[in-house]
Structure 1
Amino acid sequence: MEKTETEKKKEYLNSYKYSVENMEEMKNRYLELKMSKIYPPIISDGMPHASNKADLSGYVAKVDEMERKIVKARYERVKRKKQIENTIKALAKEEERTVLFLRYIKLLSWNQIMDVTGIRPLYKIFRVHGKALKHVIVD
């Protein structure tokens, strides 16, 4: 089933959010890797164990690879954010720009957008959002 024009626009606008989530996941995996080397698992079964003095080159290679991926993902995230900001800035109506900016750049929930903008009730936010999506031009 093919996506509607509105779904494609939402997917484009949400791509910044997905890149932020991806970046957070990568940072968490990176920290887990570093913590696993700093604080290795402790086996307290009372039995003697050989010391684990392994070569660190594999670990350093993994850390280096992850750091490179994080830098690349950060660059892509910033680039995507700028593209979406420019798309939003191209809208004619301030109210539409504000709702889309808060939703897709600031990543606020609908209730938070309602609190920030003062637009009430919630269905009016949805209406502004829907009109804004009709005016969004995705390259």
Structure 2
Amino acid sequence: MPKSFTPHEALIHLMVTVSVADRAMTDIELEAIGHLVDKAPVFEGFDRKGLPAVATRTAELLRGTDGIDQILAAAKAALPERLLETAYALVVEVAAADTVAEQEELRFLEEIRDAFNLDPLVTAAIERSARVRYRRL
């Protein structure tokens, strides 16, 4: 089990994990993570200069045994109940940013839903909202 995460670190670990789930973090996904860290109210008080270090730690954890399970467990422990849906929404936002959600990304979303015991109707609404926002002409 990794050392405990701060709530900010937990959110970043989750976003980075979904972006590398398909083995390729796109520039668009990286930009989406940076934008969310800069603009989302939940990141108030986080020093953006710490983002690369957290992302590097995510990669280290993912290289280890049961890295995804460790990240999910540590993230759930770090986040108050009221932020579990917020975490899911941020992860969906990153997955949707490049308008193509690969099977690995969808699988990770399923793992978050299960690990966080999220309401299926709420997660469906979050996913639908992202699909609508990222639709193209």
> What TM-score, normalized to structure 2?
0.30
> What TM-score, normalized to structure 1?
0.29
